Amino acid sequence: MTGSGVTGIDSMIENEHARALGPFVLARPLEPSPFGERWLARHGESHSDWTLHAFGPLMDKRERVMVLSWLETMESVRHAHLPQIRRETEPGSGRVWAAEPFLGNEDGLLSLARLVELKGGRMPPHEVGRAMTHVLDGCRFAHDHGFCHGVIGWNELLVDRHGSITIDLYGLRRRLDGLLTSDREVVRDEVRSVAMIGYRALTGLEAEEPRIRAARLVRRLDRAWDEWFEAALDPAGGFESASAAIEALPTAMREAETESRPSAALAVLNRLRTAWSSSSTPVQD
């Protein structure tokens, strides 16, 4: 894995006061997650950039057990749109650390919420469709392997430099709440929350009742989107699975998704803009 090219990180880690954690050297703090500190770090051997999450040190025994349980689950997960998590230890500390490849650049991490804001409050339909496919495919994989996240917020969706979306810290909140299993209603609520994000990204409005049809707000929008939102946002029903939601997306929005972050396939991205920190950043494969 190569570094992200974060400007100034070399001088940060060469500082005599730089803190080491296993093979990582902490460069600077990032915006905290809802669960604790988050740091930009450099791997000393591969010279790649990583995000380190710090949990604790004020966790009680139950919370610590739940975080460790979540880490054990996530360390076996390999999917393009779920976090690639590994556990790190800090001898003599009560903290639990988790590391994952850094998805941002020198400006930090980019959430889907921030990306939509940079674009003026809306995204074009093809980008919304691609984003929905990314997120729902991550949900589908997790559900097929027996775990859920619950309701997803668009601040939990991170967009990398190639426009690929990752669901940040997937499943951690439910695990901390001691919810180790899921049921049909939890799955529907999760899928419905993704649709709510899609509606907001497409129209600029919250998906609240009474809801305006998307085709009335977005010029020349395929009316199949209205049908999809009607089904996905139905409070009494909704799609029974993420797979069903993906299959029902308008045909022009459906594309095959792999279950691992692309490598050689990134060659197809040379036609796309990669300056994700600008308002022109698209959501791509």
pLDDT of 127 above 70: yes
| pLDDT, tens digit (0-9, with 9 covering 90-100), for 142-199 | 999 999 999 999 999 999 999 999 999 999 999 999 888 888 999 999 999 999 999 9
Q: What is the pLDDT of residue 87?
A: 93
Q: What is the pLDDT of residue 255?
A: 52
- Half-sphere exposure (Cβ direction) of 116: Cα atoms closer than 13 Å: 24
pLDDT of 280 above 70: no
Q: What is the pLDDT of residue 95?
A: 86
- What residues contact 277, with CB distance under 8 A and at least 6 apart? 105, 107, 110
Query: Would you state the structure tokens that stand for residue 117, as one six-digit string?
Result: 């804001």
Residue 274 sits at φ, ψ, to 5 deg, of: -115, 5
- Burial tier of 269 (Cβ tally within 10 Å: 0-12, 13-18, 19+): middle
Q: What is the pLDDT of residue 275?
A: 40
- The Cα–Cα gap between 56 and 36 comes to 7
At residue 132 the predicted structure's pLDDT band, cuts being 50, 70 and 90, is very high
Q: Say whether 112-271 and 21-101 share the same fold.
A: no
Task: Assign a CATH topology to domain 21-101.
Answer: Phosphorylase Kinase; domain 1 (3.30.200)
E strand or H helix that includes residue 93:
none
Q: What is the pLDDT of residue 19?
A: 84
DSSP 209-263: SSPPPHHHHSTT--THHHHHHHHHT-TT---SSHHHHHHHS-GGG-----SS--S
pLDDT of 14 above 90: no
**Average pLDDT over the chain, rounded to an integer:** 85
pLDDT of 9 above 90: no
Omega of the bond prior to 210 within 30 degrees of 0, cis? Answer: yes
pTM: 0.82
Residue 221: which of 256, 191, 250, 255 has the closest Cα? 250
Q: What is the pLDDT of residue 120?
A: 96
Query: Would you state the structure tokens that stand for residue 60, as one six-digit string?
Result: 């009680």
At residue 284 the predicted structure's pLDDT band, cuts being 50, 70 and 90, is low
Exposure string of 1-26, with b = 16+ CB inside 10 Å and e = fewer, is eeebebeebeebbeeeeeeebbebbb
Residue 145: which of 262, 259, 245, 66 has the closest Cα? 259
At residue 278 the predicted structure's pLDDT band, cuts being 50, 70 and 90, is very low
Q: Cα Rg for the chain, rounded, in angstroms?
A: 19
Sequence spans of domains, the chain? 21-101, 112-271
The residue that leads in pLDDT, 69 or 8, is 69
At residue 265 the predicted structure's pLDDT band, cuts being 50, 70 and 90, is very low
Q: What is the pLDDT of residue 181?
A: 83
At residue 57 the predicted structure's pLDDT band, cuts being 50, 70 and 90, is confident
Contact (CB, 8 A) for 212 and 230: no
Alpha helices in the chain (DSSP H): 9-13, 61-74, 112-118, 125-144, 172-176, 184-203, 214-217, 224-232, 242-248
- The Cα–Cα gap between 231 and 207 comes to 13
Q: Would you say domain 112-271 falls under CATH 3.20.20.80?
A: no
Q: Residue 5 CA to chain centroid, in angstroms?
A: 21
